[in-house]
Amino acid sequence: MTLAEFRILQPEFHTAPDETVEANLAAAELETPADVWGDKRDQGIRYLTAHMLAVGPSGMNARKKAPLEAHGNTMYWHRRQRLLRQVAGGAYVA
């Protein structure tokens, strides 16, 4: 996930400085290993980065209208958790 891709997909963070977004992208990459996330890795990085930006000091201005839920969760966190269940949830029978 590049800075440019993130900016296109998450335009609500357009006011966040490039350096801040890039630092959060790098941190999210470390927490989203390719061998676990596979082809959903960029999505996982994107949602974790958005979550970290939203709960950060300047996040109140960038966050979508929905307020933080209990325990500081955001809609971005919930989307990442849903993806995590898909990539690391074990075998499924359909």
- DSSP state for residue 57 in the 8-state scheme: T
In a domain? residue 81: yes
In a domain? residue 47: yes
* Nearest CA-CA partner of 50 in 63, 36, 37: 63
* Positions of E strands within 1-94: none
What total number of domains does the chain contain?
1
Would you give per-residue pLDDT tens digits along the chain (94 residues)? 999 999 999 999 999 999 999 999 999 999 999 999 999 999 999 999 999 999 887 665 555 555 555 566 889 999 999 999 999 876 665 5
In a domain? residue 69: yes
Residue pair 31/16 in contact by the 8 Å Cβ criterion: no
* Nearest CA-CA partner of 88 in 43, 38, 45: 38
pTM value?
Answer: 0.83
pLDDT for 64 equals 53
Domain, as residue range, for 80: 3-88
Tell me the torsion sign for CA atoms 37, 38, 40, 43: positive
